[in-house]
Amino acid sequence: MTMSPYHHSRRDFVQKAALAGTGIVIGTDRSALRHLLQHKKVQVLNPKDQVPVSFIIDDSTTLVNMAYFGIPQFREVFPDRYQQNWRQLPREIPDDFVREFRDFCQEHGVKGKYSVVPYPACTGWVDRFIPGWTKKELEDSLALIRESMQPDWDIHPEMISHTRVIDITTGRPFPYADEQYMENWGWSQDKSADELGAYLAYALKVLKNAGLHCQGVTTPGGFASQNKEALAQGTLEAVREVYPDVDVAHYFRDLYTEPDQSVVPLVKYPSGLQGNDPRCVVSVIGCTGDWFGGWDGLTPGSVDKFITADLSGGRMVEVMDKGEPAIMVCHWPGIYYNGQKKGFAIFQEVVRRLEQKYGTLNWMKNSEIARYWAAKELTDIRFEGKSVRLQAPFAAKNFTLQITANEAKQAVHIANSEQIRLKKVRDKSQLTAGCYFSDKDQLVVCIDLEKGASELLIG
């Protein structure tokens, strides 16, 4: 049998995923990680003591409008369910719109996740060619993503095609147009971590060939919705295999819009925490539905679902006021909304209202949120007298600790044999790495946490 250029060995995949032995945490029990020593007088806060905000964009790729090419494939499987007139949709979401969106986001500091489907709806490969567009158009589109999006956005494959399941030994779709051979539905629900990992690694290799760097993946539709532990393990090993420099992998699978459901990231399968090669995987959770323009660009959304005109309500307010990461979710065809840009207009107004209510927002990429939570959950913290000792398996920017202590006149961070005297600020809103705030019985310190041992001295 002819092997695909992306074929690779997955030998001993599950055994590699289980290397940590007792260090692995399985399941969704958030308390399971609390075996580490974290002193009761020291609490890890949100970065800079501000709620992280992020934006997840699904169904994006180079040039191709996934709705136009995907709907007829979905209809073949579920003819009664997908009645949208896909022929009235544009076949392309142009790069000029990507630039317009980018410009607004850069102006407001917006960060998040941007999918690049590797084989979008089976039209063509983003690292080779896509029929209907010239090679230069594809190369220019990839360059735009690499140079303009990637600095502020995590790039994820959204599986391989987002429609038909691909036989990764041949690179061709399986010849069965049914629910069991669509990425959105049945195929992934009973696969092992080994099988899912091989599939994810195939997708990641296409994006790596296209010059993109990935630290995570996004699932299309219901992919692995009933197989979440295999998905977590598969993601960790696939990302590590294709991008060996990644120590904290992450994935977007779930979103919750119910008020009583936590959307705090879930840290899974940590291993090697005491050695030179620690690793883990983090489930990053969205907090909204797509209330912008829908996955097909045919369902108008509502600003008020995110934040009301009087700034007092809406899902984003609900989550941010709880102090949990507030991650909005959308689909790229709905943001473009068939050239009318209705979803984009909704997003712009949401950002303006959030800024009006909260001031400067703490925008972070999904990978930055995942890394922060891995450091938060897995750093050993010991408080002895006027010393806070930290043993961190993962570095993290703007790592913020609240320490119960008498008002401090100075704070010093010792890392890599270097002593850094921290700057005192008058208000916690001014916190950034290298600063601290102190009042009568509380000290809030913000540092760039180094991997390994470091220490805070309070005086």
**Using one digit for the tens of pLDDT, what is the confidence trace for 406-437?**
666 788 899 888 899 999 999 999 999 999 99
Confidence (pLDDT) at 26? 42
Name the packing angle between helices 95-108 and 135-144 (round to 10°).
10
Question: Check: CATH 2.60.120.10 for 379-458?
Answer: no
- Tell me which residue has tokens 């999006």: 149
CA dist list (Å): 91 to 124, 153, 195, 221, 293: 14, 24, 33, 21, 17
Confidence (pLDDT) at 1? 32
Closest by CA to 242, choosing from 304, 306, 199, is 199
Please state the φ and ψ torsions of residue 408, each to the nearest 5 degrees: -95, 140
H or E stretch covering 324: none
Whether residue 2 is predicted with pLDDT greater than 80 in this model: the reply is no
Q: Report DSSP letters for 251-285, one per residue.
A: EEEEE---TTS----EEEEEE-TTSS--EEEEEEE
CATH tag for 13-37+51-370 (out of 3.10.20.600, 1.10.1040.10, 3.20.20.370, 3.50.50.60): 3.20.20.370
- Tell me which residue has tokens 């005086």: 459
- Among 35-49, 73-87, 330-344, the least confident range: 35-49
Contact partners, residue 311, CB within 8 Å, separation at least 6: 317, 353, 356, 357
Whether residue 23 is predicted with pLDDT greater than 50 in this model: the reply is no
Q: Give the residue, 37 or 129, on which the prediction is more confident.
A: 129
The terminus-to-terminus CA distance of the chain in angstroms comes to 70
Whether residue 37 is predicted with pLDDT greater than 90 in this model: the reply is no
What is the rounded average pLDDT of the residues 265-278?
96
Contact partners, residue 136, CB within 8 Å, separation at least 6: none
Distance separating alpha carbons of residues 298 and 279, to the nearest angstrom: 41
- Return the number of other C-beta atoms located less than 10 Å from residue 426's C-beta: 7
Confidence (pLDDT) at 417? 80
Confidence (pLDDT) at 407? 65
Quick: pLDDT tens for 146-203.
999 999 999 999 999 999 999 999 999 999 999 999 999 999 999 999 999 999 999 9
Backbone conformation region of residue 13, classed left if phi is above 0, alpha if psi is from -120 to 50, else beta:
alpha
Q: Using pLDDT thresholds of 50, 70 and 90, give the confidence band for residue 6.
A: very low
H or E stretch covering 454: strand 452-458
What is the rounded average pLDDT of the residues 374-380?
97
**Average of per-residue pLDDT values in the chain:** 91
Whether residue 442 is predicted with pLDDT greater than 90 in this model: the reply is no
- Chain centre distance of CA 247: 14
Burial of residue 356 (number of CB atoms within 10 Å: 0-12, 13-18, 19+): exposed
Confidence (pLDDT) at 387? 92
Backbone conformation region of residue 48, classed left if phi is above 0, alpha if psi is from -120 to 50, else beta:
left
The fraction of the chain above a pLDDT of 90, given in percent, is 85
**Residue 193 DSSP SS3:** helix
Confidence (pLDDT) at 446? 97
Q: Report DSSP letters for 374-428, one per residue.
A: HHHHH-EEEEETTEEEEEESS-EEEEEEEEE-SPPS-EEEEETTEEEEPEE-SSG
- The domain locations on the chain are 13-37+51-370, 379-458
Quick: pLDDT tens for 293-329.
999 999 999 999 999 999 999 999 999 999 999 999 9
Greatest alpha-carbon span in the chain: 73
Closest by CA to 160, choosing from 173, 169, 144, is 173
Whether residue 24 is predicted with pLDDT greater than 50 in this model: the reply is no
Is the Cβ–Cβ distance between 242 and 236 less than 8 Å? no
Whether residue 9 is predicted with pLDDT greater than 50 in this model: the reply is no
Lay out the sheet containing 396-404: strands in order across. 42-44, 396-404, 442-449, 435-438, 423-424
Whether residue 21 is predicted with pLDDT greater than 90 in this model: the reply is no
What is the rounded average pLDDT of the residues 78-86?
95
Closest by CA to 93, choosing from 325, 269, 305, 339, is 339
Whether residue 39 is predicted with pLDDT greater than 80 in this model: the reply is no
Whether residue 41 is predicted with pLDDT greater than 90 in this model: the reply is no
Strand partners, 252: 218, 284
